[in-house]
Amino acid sequence: MGATVTTANSQDKTWGGGANEPMGASYGKLMMWFFILSDALTFSGFLGAYGFSRFKFIETWPLADEVFTHFPFMHGVSAPMYYVALMTFILIFSSVTMVLAVDAGHQLKKNKVAVYMFLTIIGGFIFVGSQAWEWKNFIKGEYGAIETHGGSLLQFVDKEGKRVALADFAATLPETRERHASNNGAWFVSEPDLPSYSVEEIQAGFKAHPDLLIRTEVIYEADAASAADPKINHDLTKIKHKTVLTRAESEVRLDQAQYVVEGASLIRNEYGSKLFADFFFFITGFHGFHVFSGVIINIIIFFNVLIGTYEKRKSYEMVEKVGLYWHFVDLVWVFVFTVFYLV
């Protein structure tokens, strides 16, 4: 039985470089691609769930043009989707500067890499700050609404169908409202912050403005079978549809008011379906966490560029690897922007 002889030259190192690199990529690059693939599947699941929920509740789903209407330093000016579009442009532009940084790294131009990395970091900070500002306005709300005992959402509009804010018609009543804190509430449970107006003030203000109407969800039964053939068993399907009520119907529905809803949270949402707020916070928050993480990593790489770490190695591969992550984050936002805001 022959003996097996192992020499140093016959011991191939899988990740040792040269021709043994799988697909011509280094270990670090390949691991980054594995991470990007797994993260892409995660985002795909989130966006798929969002699309399914929106299709299921399409009649009561909020319109993005009615929700994202703010623009910094332009209070009271309706600019639907303008700021979201600006955020998207800034993030895409930061991806361009990252490409230039990687290209400068291939040419071993330290100063250019530092400049383009700095611009990428600035773009990331602007995007994260803009997203925080957008969250603030989404949580605060703009118009306000009423939630009934049955859970329906009542939004106020004028005769032309345009939204009207609670502050434009709410009455001022001589009443004292006290927020129940843990030291004076039932079972030592704190009550959420009180809304700007009480239900009674909204009802009184509505009665004083006869030109106001209510837009809400109305449940009606749709006949799925053919009405022409009496032999067919008619299948009645209950469908919710958002519609503007008459003045008399509006007064009846307002008598069922239970809560004043201002802005959006995980519990209530003045814009429409509660699931919309849940998905907004989760998907944009998850993506924002990715962008913030990318900014921190870029800062670390940026300082390594300044002190000449990669210049000594004669390789800027680390810049290329973090660039792959940054491009992935930008690409994900394009899908989020398209699915969540545009469609």
In angstroms and rounded to an integer, the radius of gyration of the C-alpha atoms of the chain is 28
The two tokens of residue 148 are 């009934």
Query: Is 108 within 8 Å of 311 (Cβ atoms)?
Result: yes
DSSP 193: P
Q: How far is the C-alpha of 188 from the C-alpha of 181, rounded, in Å?
A: 7
The two tokens of residue 32 are 């980054």
Query: Is 318 within 8 Å of 308 (Cβ atoms)?
Result: no
Which of 205, 211, 238 is closest to 223 using CA atoms? 238
Domain ranges of the chain: 23-141+276-342, 145-174+187-216+244-262
What are residue 144's phi and psi, to 5 degrees? 85, 160
The CATH homologous superfamily for domain 23-141+276-342 is: Cytochrome c oxidase, subunit III, four-helix bundle (1.20.120.80)
Beta strands (DSSP E) in the chain are: 145-148, 153-157, 213-223, 236-244, 257-261
Q: Look at residue 320 in the predicted model and tell me its pLDDT.
A: 93
Q: How far is the C-alpha of 156 from the C-alpha of 160, rounded, in Å?
A: 11
Q: How far is the C-alpha of 310 from the C-alpha of 322, rounded, in Å?
A: 14
Q: What are the tens digits of pLDDT across the range 156-205?
A: 999 888 889 999 999 888 765 666 565 555 555 555 677 888 899 999 99
Query: Is 15 within 8 Å of 21 (Cβ atoms)?
Result: yes
**Strand 153-157 relative to strand 145-148: parallel, antiparallel, unpaired?**
antiparallel
Output the pTM of the full model. Answer: 0.81
Q: What are the tens digits of pLDDT across the range 237-284?
A: 555 567 889 999 999 999 999 989 999 988 888 988 889 999 999 999
Q: Which residues of the chain have pLDDT under 70?
A: 1-24, 175-192, 218-241
CB under 8 A, 24+ apart: contacts of 336-343? 336/43, 336/47, 336/283, 336/284, 336/287, 337/84, 337/88, 339/47, 339/50, 339/51, 340/47, 340/50, 340/64, 340/279, 340/280, 340/283, 340/284, 341/64, 341/68, 341/81, 341/84, 342/64
